[in-house]
Structure formats: C-alpha cells, structure tokens
Amino acid sequence: MDFLVKKFSILSCLFISSFIFSEQWQISPSDSAQDDIQSAMILAQEGDTISLAAGIYNLNHGLSLDVDNITFKGEGHKRTILNFSEQKTGAQGLLVTSNNITLKDFAVENAKGDAIKSKGSKNIKFLNLRTEWTNGPDTKNGAYGLYPVESKDVLIDGCIAIGASDAGVYVGQSENIIVRNTEAYFNVAGIEIENSYYADVYDNVAENNTAGILVFDLPDLPKQGGKFVRVFNNNSSNNNTENFAPEGNIVGQVPKGTGLVIRANRHVEVFKNTFENNSTIGVALVAGDLESGDDSYDPYPRNIQIYDNYFKNSGYDPDFNRGELSPLLVEISNGFQPDIMWDGILPFWQNVFGQKKGERLVLDSNNDAKFLNLDLFWYFVMSFFHSPEFTGKKYFSDVKNLDPIAEW
C-alpha cells in the first residue's frame, strides 16, 4: 500500500511540475472568445499579460478576473470592444477581485448591469478605457461604468464613461484614489466619489450629465464617513440631461443642471474648476439624510473649502422634476440664481452658535460667484428666525490645503 501511495505521489509531482512562467495570452475575436478570455483569466499566472487584438468581442456572459498581478489590455478603446448586448448571465461586464491589476485600452459596451467592477482590489489601474451604453441615456442602461468598490490604490486615468444610469465613474467605499484625464458624458452622475477616503479628482471633463461630479457620503454602509477629497482643474459644464436614474437610487433625487454636489463629506477642497451652463446650480453643499436611522452616520458636511473656481450662467432653469432642492432653492433665492448653494443645515446647537472653529466652510470670491445659504434649519424649524445669506463674504478666509494623494 505504502509503495503504491509513493508511486502515486511521484506521478502527481510530475504533473505539478509543468509550470509556466509569465506568459503572454494573445486572444483574437472568434466564436470561442468567451471561453478564450475567461479561460485565460483563470489559468493566467501572476505576472502574465492577457492581450486582446482589435475587433469586436460578442460576449454572452460576464467575465471575471481573480488572479493577482495581471495586465489585461486591448489595442485601444475604439478598436478592442467587448460587446455585452447579448449578455445572458453576470451582473457586470467585467469583475475584478484580485490585486495589482492593470486594465487598459479597451471598451466595454452595453453591459446588462455594471460595465467594469473591481471589488476588494488593492492597486488597480483603469487606463484609457471606455464604458458605454451606445443607445444614449436610458433608464434601462446599467448603473455604473467604471466601478471600483472596497478597493485601495485606485487609478482611473484617460478613461471615457458614457450613458450610465447611475454614475459613469463611481468610486465607492474605497481609499487612495486618483481620477484624472477622464471624460464622462450623458450619465446621470458623471463622476462620483462615495463613502471614500483620500481622493484626487482632477483634469476631468464632465459634460451633458444630469450632475457633473458628486462627492457623497451615505448611511447604512460598511464604510462611511467620506473624507479628504480634492476636486480641482475639472470642467463640469452643460450638465443638463434629464435625470434618467431609476427611482429608489440616491442619484435619482439629483436635479438636472448640477455641476457638483458635496453631501455629508468631511474635508473636501474644490478649486480651479469651471462650472458653466449648469441650469440648476453650479455647486451644492448639502447635509445627508437626517433621519436615516443609522446611529453611526454623520450627515453634516464639515471642513469644506471652495475657492478659485470659475462659474458662468448657473441656475437659469432649475429642474423641479427630481428631489426637493430646486423648489426650495427657487423659493428662497427669489430670482437671485446663485452659483454656489449651501443648505445651511448644521448639527443642532451650531444652528444657534455657528459652525465649530476649525470646521468652518471656507470660500473666497470664486471669481465673483454668487453664493446663497438657504438656512434650511430655521426655514423648517422656526421661520421667524429664517435668514438666508446672499453673500459668502463671511466665509472668506485662509485655505488650508489638503495633502495630494501620493502615487503608489
């Protein structure tokens, strides 16, 4: 018996030793593309590159990658296209659950759910990718284009996201994030940073979305208390597409014509951006859900700095179809049409004594932008005390710069 076992183990050792190191996987469009790509993604060893030749890959099932240290690339987002129009299974086009991953130079089109998702990845790069629903804005489109969640060290660079029914670029519950040189068109939200820590969002273009950029913190999630987000040198203009998000989703409440919304985050620095022709508001600063029922959720934004931004033609046609903001804005502003708006909702005692020192809103002239504090707390609680502010001068003070995200 012992002898036999030994023999077996020698045999199986021979099988094991057929390892291959750092391989190049070359795949071209064919009827077996689904199998070819998925097999490569499973059989690849750390350090391998999977290359997709130019062409259209018609895929019926979501792809997934769970091997560390892999480059998955095409020959450019206009030439290598993963088409999921006939997708039958999988909640996303491509799911990545491993570390040290580079995705570059391809497009994911018409995924039934999200286009590209990474969950729990450390060091993931999205480079020169395109995610698109080619029929334009439609409630039936998938929710997210580029969707890293619970990930760490996330770089999104040179990508294009079009037609997502929630957010084109959505970084959720993640840490150490750079989103740059990226374009978002005809999504509900162009670029969204949600429940995340340490993000730099710069040199991006968000146009023709419902809302250009969102920096949100939401309740009932494992990671909350979003903080340290810098939004700079972006152009968030003409975001006047009708909100086509399905109801029930938080972005479904955002009025069209919004440049940037900061909701319930801490330490957000917004500078040198252009907000032009956003028909409801250029920048909105609002509290989160005050009655979420989640005791660990802090709905009040703090340490927000908005300076040196350029505004033009904000609020010329506020959207009344979604959310509660526009009616209040129009009623209280009474024709003033601010560029920057704050709902003015603070923790209880701060509504009486003012914001805590060291947590205050910081503004500067923002090139003569018009500012309005709606003072909603007193508006709702006791209208006798309601005193909206039509100038931000009181908040002009020195900026304390946040640290840039160090590239890893």
Partner 1 sequence: MVKKLLLIVVVLSQLIFAVNDEAILSKKPEAKLSDYDFFKSPKEQIPNDNVHKYFLQTPLFSDYSLKDRFVYIPQEKKAVHSFDKVYDFPIGSALVKTFSYKMASDKNKVLLETRLLLLQETGWSAHTYVWDENQEDAFLKVSGKTIEGIKFLYDGQIKKVDYRVPNQNQCKECHLSDNKIMPIGPKSRNLNFEITQQNRSINQIDYWIEKGLVENHDPQKVVADWKNMEESLDDRARAYLDVNCGHCHMPGGSADTTGLYLSVNEKDVRKLGVNKPPVAAGRASGNLMYSIVPGKPEKSILLYRMKSEDPGIMMPESGRALAHSEGIRLIESWIKNYDK
Residues found near partner 1 in the complex (CB under 8 A): 1, 4-5, 8-9, 12, 15-16, 34-35, 38-39, 41-43, 60-62, 64-66, 87-91, 95, 97, 111-114, 119-120, 139-144, 147, 149-150, 165-166, 170, 172-173, 218, 220-222, 245-250, 293-294
Q: How far is residue 336's CA from residue 329's CA, in Å, rounded to a whole number?
A: 10
Task: Choose between 66 and 331: whose C-beta lies nearer to partner 1.
Answer: 66
- Provide, rounded to whole angstroms, the least separation between the CB of residue 17 and partner 1: 10
Residue the block writes with tokens 């999921």: 84
Task: Choose between 222 and 335: whose C-beta lies nearer to partner 1.
Answer: 222
- Provide, rounded to whole angstroms, the least separation between the CB of residue 1 and partner 1: 7
Q: Which residues contact 203 (CB under 8 A, 6 or more apart)?
A: 180, 181, 233, 234
- Provide, rounded to whole angstroms, the least separation between the CB of residue 266 and partner 1: 20
Task: Choose between 97 and 274: whose C-beta lies nearer to partner 1.
Answer: 97
- Provide, rounded to whole angstroms, the least separation between the CB of residue 251 and partner 1: 10
Q: Is 306 helix (H, G, I), strand (E, B) or coil?
A: strand
Task: Choose between 141 and 236: whose C-beta lies nearer to partner 1.
Answer: 141
Q: How far is residue 318's CA from residue 305's CA, in Å, rounded to a whole number?
A: 24
- Provide, rounded to whole angstroms, the least separation between the CB of residue 316 and partner 1: 30
Task: Choose between 173 and 240: whose C-beta lies nearer to partner 1.
Answer: 173
Q: How far is residue 249's CA from residue 114's CA, in Å, rounded to a whole number?
A: 14
Q: Contact, 294 vs 219, CB < 8 A?
A: yes
- Provide, rounded to whole angstroms, the least separation between the CB of residue 142 and partner 1: 6
- Provide, rounded to whole angstroms, the least separation between the CB of residue 35 and partner 1: 5
Q: Report CA Rg, the chain.
A: 24
Signed CA dihedral, 352, 357, 361, 362: sign only: positive
Residue the block writes with tokens 């003070």: 397
Task: Choose between 90 and 392: whose C-beta lies nearer to partner 1.
Answer: 90
Residue 67 DSSP symbol: -
Residue the block writes with tokens 């069209």: 256
Other CB atoms within a 10 A radius of the CB of residue 343 amount to 21
Report the alpha-carbon angle 202-203-205, nearest 5.
110
Q: Which residues contact 105 (CB under 8 A, 6 or more apart)?
A: 73, 74, 75, 76, 77, 80, 127, 128, 129
Q: Is 198 helix (H, G, I), strand (E, B) or coil?
A: strand
Q: Contact, 268 vs 292, CB < 8 A?
A: no
Phi, psi of 341 (to 5 degrees): -130, 140
Task: Choose between 250 and 402: whose C-beta lies nearer to partner 1.
Answer: 250
In single-letter form, the type of residue at position 165 comes to: S
- Provide, rounded to whole angstroms, the least separation between the CB of residue 16 and partner 1: 6
Residue the block writes with tokens 């975001």: 239
Signed CA dihedral, 29, 71, 234, 303: sign only: positive
Task: Choose between 10 and 382: whose C-beta lies nearer to partner 1.
Answer: 10
- Provide, rounded to whole angstroms, the least separation between the CB of residue 240 and partner 1: 22
Task: Choose between 95 and 155: whose C-beta lies nearer to partner 1.
Answer: 95
Nearest CA to 44 out of 21, 13, 75 is that of 21
Task: Choose between 121 and 279: whose C-beta lies nearer to partner 1.
Answer: 121
- Provide, rounded to whole angstroms, the least separation between the CB of residue 269 and partner 1: 26
Q: Is 353 helix (H, G, I), strand (E, B) or coil?
A: helix
